[in-house]
Chains A and B, each alone.
Chain A
Amino acid sequence: MTITRRGFLKFAGLTGSALLAAGARAPAKAATAAAGAAADKEFFGMLVDTTKCIGCRSCEEACNARNRLPEPKESFSTDSVFERQRDTTPEAFTVVNRFPNEKEPDKPVFVRKECNHCNQPACATACLVKALEKTPEGPVIYNKDRCMGCRYCMLSCPFDAPKYQYNSPSPYVMKCVFCHDRIVKGEQPACSEACPEGASLFGKRRDLIEIARERIYKEPGKYYPHIYGEHEAGGTEWLFIGSAAPEKLGLRDRENVGTSSYPEKTAGFLYAVPHIFILWPTFLFGLSYLTSQKNGKENEHGEE
């Protein structure tokens, strides 16, 4: 009878763990599927040529109007905002910052900042309800009805792009969604449409990399030979080129964003899950069986 009970438990445990292992295998699969999709899909992208930007902030204004964001305290025509480095906020999905120009000190450099729309976004991988999703077109969009507000996307994002409405009793994650609805309709995002200088160039990512390479190749004196976003964090849809090294243009957050994709960082752990689900219960049942056998014998000896 003992053996039947043990047999039953063993059966129940192993079936359960096998089922769970099958379930647990899915995350690993999902992670690689995303990677695969990113590799062979031609995403849309944005090439920001910081040498062309004049700091007019038309992109900010267009973004504000397009996303129906609240009116900012300082109007879009004031230059005083350049006196400090700004970050995006829940009310401003893109901001332009001013940096000193080492080559021509009287001509400062202006650099946009917003969500970089990674090829394999950390935020979408981190989201446990798929509120943040990588679309086949490239933009990383936000489904606010799914979000439960854990803010793991904010912790995960190497660029700190997602921002949060801390003052709302019913808050959302706010960030640039690359005007996804416009892109699906065949239009370009509001910001690049508004740019008078063509500093934000919208197109297929592959083409944009070609254009960026060509510009750097043709004018080696003008450009620093690096396309920021080509490999950073596994590659991003937004690409930046400019006259100085990325870290001088506020582009390298903490200098260690790295070139590997962020979902890969947790893939190893997730791959280990099914193994533990198979091996641990088996090991524990075995150990439990052995130690209880031993105890049984000791008891018998005790009786004698």
Chain B
Amino acid sequence: MERNNTIPLHAAKSPTGADTLKGFLRFVLSELKPKGKIITPFNVISGIIIAVGLALIVIRFAFGLASVTNLSQEYPWGIWIGFDVVTGVAFAGGAYTLCFVVHILNFKKYEPILKATVLNGFLAYCFYAGALLLDLGRPWNVVNPIIGNAFGYSSVLFLVAWHFLLYTVCQFVEVFPAVAEWLYWPKVRKYAKLCTTGAVIFGITLSTLHQSGLGALFLMASNKIHPLWYSGNIPILFFVSSVFAGLSMVIAESTISHRVFRDQIDPHHHASFDDILIGLAKGALGALFAYFFLKVIDFVHGHQWTQLNTPMGYWWMVEMIGGIIIPIVLFTYAILKNNRKLVQVTAVITALGVILNRLNISVIAFKWYAANRYYPSWMEIWVTAAVICMEIWAFRWIVGRMPILREHPDFPEEEHAHPEEAEVVKWKASAM
């Protein structure tokens, strides 16, 4: 009945020695050591970026935000919010979208890439929350909205902060079985698995709200954002765009993973990879269509024809055509022709379009009338790059040690999750 918990596994001492505190610490310490060659081009370049980035972060905390950023009284939010948080969270939307497809709609086809996607989402949230701390003037007070030192219930940011936190916990719960497999804790894994459905449903709900909440933040800036970008529908637009942003990120990320971690992926999954990518492209195409129509409705309702023939209007068309219409055409063509390469290229174009859109709302079309425009300093960009490099390092470290892309040989994914169904199978097998 307990197929995955056969007696030897259940009773066996963990081969990692992680079932005592001492053993756990020793195991984790030994795993912290890097595997493979240390001096590689990627490691050297990203290492330098991270080192300089850390130095910049020290400067920022010692001398204030103005020492590193180009923020001003006119532009309180720069790219640390506009790119790291507002754009980054959209790209992390792949996690809840795939969870919905695999756990709720039960399309098991996408299961092979689910763990990596959720891990990516989890890491993205951890690192973006970290990047957010850099931007806060008084980061030591960040606990205030959590511990109840004056709850600002009426604030959208309060809602976003809480959902951010809770969703990160949900993602951790979803990732946790892999951690338990790595530590060889079968019992803990079993209970963690039981929490998955709850975490998934709670997680999707939270995602819906904070993805749209990120857009709702800008509702209060109604007189500061260019009318072509400002709309009362921003929350819905942010939610829908997070679906195709997330999916195109999953396409791009899994393409890279499949190259870099080739040895980890079993041949069966490798064969189904094209099929998975085409499926993801279909999902992204659907969301793109929905988004396109929402944008058109907004445009027509706002009577913004006159805005089109202005510099900001041309810029808006760049975003609409380059980031939405071209991806729609290319995805459609790629799906019809079953062309994996084109799907991957289009995913990158779509991702760029999303970056453009989020930066437009938070930075470029924000106070488009201001005399002194905000441009990020090289240091802001550098720190952003350092945060991304750190995230890649963390992802690589985890994938190199935990069963994320592969399956743990001792913990095969059960075909029949429910013991009763296993019973039926057994009964039928004995009857034969």
Q: Chain B's nearest CB lies how many Å from the CB of A161?
A: 10
The stretch that binds A, out of B18-26, B208-216, B286-294, B383-391, is B208-216
Give how many A-B residue pairs fall within 8 Å (CB-CB): 207
Q: A1-B420, A160-B74, A269-B216 are in contact. Are A284 and B201 (CB under 8 A)?
A: yes
B223–A254 CB distance below 8 A: yes
Q: Chain A's nearest CB lies how many Å from the CB of B289?
A: 22
Residues of A1-40 at the interface with B, using a CB-CB cut-off of 8 Å, are: 1-2, 5, 9, 12-13, 16-17, 24, 26-27, 29-31, 34
B104–A277 CB distance below 8 A: no
A266–B137 CB distance below 8 A: no
The stretch that binds B, out of A104-112, A164-172, A183-191, A218-226, is A164-172
Q: Which of B64, B194, B424 meets A166, CB within 8 Å? A: B64
Q: Which of A31, A258, A285 meets B223, CB within 8 Å? A: A258
Q: A129-B141, A270-B159 are in contact. Are A152 and B205 (CB under 8 A)?
A: no
Interface residues of A (CB under 8 A from B): 1-2, 5, 9, 12-13, 16-17, 24, 26-27, 29-31, 34, 87, 89, 122, 125-131, 143, 146-152, 154-156, 158, 160, 163-172, 253-254, 256-258, 262-263, 265-266, 268-270, 273, 276-277, 280-281, 284-285, 287-288, 291-292, 294-296, 299-300, 303
A5 CA / B72 CA spacing, docked (Å): 55
A165 CA / B73 CA spacing, docked (Å): 9
A281–B152 CB distance below 8 A: no
B141–A146 CB distance below 8 A: yes
A277 CA / B198 CA spacing, docked (Å): 14
Asked if B197 is an interface residue, CB under 8 A from chain A, the answer is yes
B137–A130 CB distance below 8 A: no
A254–B369 CB distance below 8 A: yes
A152 CA / B352 CA spacing, docked (Å): 26
Q: Chain B's nearest CB lies how many Å from the CB of A268?
A: 8
B205–A126 CB distance below 8 A: no
Q: A1-B420, A266-B216 are in contact. Are A150 and B158 (CB under 8 A)?
A: no
B220–A265 CB distance below 8 A: yes
Q: A149-B136, A299-B421, A303-B425 are in contact. Are A285 and B66 (CB under 8 A)?
A: no
Q: Which residue of A lies closest to B140 (CB)?
A: A148
Asked if B382 is an interface residue, CB under 8 A from chain A, the answer is no
Q: Which of B151, B154, B157, B218: most chain A Cβ within 10 A? A: B154
A126–B222 CB distance below 8 A: no
A266 CA / B194 CA spacing, docked (Å): 37
A280–B204 CB distance below 8 A: yes
B222–A295 CB distance below 8 A: no
Q: Which residues of B contact A158 (CB under 8 A)?
A: 222-223
**With A5-B418, A125-B220 already in contact, 11 other A-B pairs whose C-beta atoms are closer than 8 Å:** A17-B202, A129-B149, A146-B141, A148-B136, A150-B137, A152-B76, A155-B77, A166-B71, A258-B223, A276-B205, A299-B421
Q: Which residues of A contact B155 (CB under 8 A)?
A: 27, 125-128, 152
Asked if B63 is an interface residue, CB under 8 A from chain A, the answer is yes
Instruction: Give per-residue flags for B78-106: 1 if the beta carbon is below 8 A from chain A beta carbons, else 0.
Output: 00000000000000000000001001111
Q: Which residues of A contact B42 (CB under 8 A)?
A: none
Q: Which residue of A lies closest to B197 (CB)?
A: A9
B152–A128 CB distance below 8 A: yes
Residues of B129-145 at the interface with A, using a CB-CB cut-off of 8 Å, are: 135-139, 141-142, 144-145
A169–B61 CB distance below 8 A: yes
Q: Would you list 6 pairs from A and B whose C-beta atoms are within 8 A, ordered by A residue?
A: A13-B202, A148-B136, A257-B223, A269-B219, A280-B208, A300-B424
Q: Which residues of B contact A296 (CB under 8 A)?
A: 421
Q: A155-B76, A265-B222, A276-B208 are in contact. Are A270 and B156 (CB under 8 A)?
A: yes
A154–B73 CB distance below 8 A: yes
Q: Which of A167, A266, A284 meets B204, CB within 8 Å? A: A284
Q: Chain B's nearest CB lies how many Å from the CB of A256?
A: 5
Q: Which residues of B contact A154 (CB under 8 A)?
A: 73, 76
Q: Which residues of A contact B419 (CB under 8 A)?
A: 1-2
Q: Which residues of B contact A164 (CB under 8 A)?
A: 71, 73, 76, 137
Q: Which residues of B contact A165 (CB under 8 A)?
A: 64, 137
A216 CA / B76 CA spacing, docked (Å): 38
Q: Chain A's nearest CB lies how many Å from the CB of B280?
A: 19
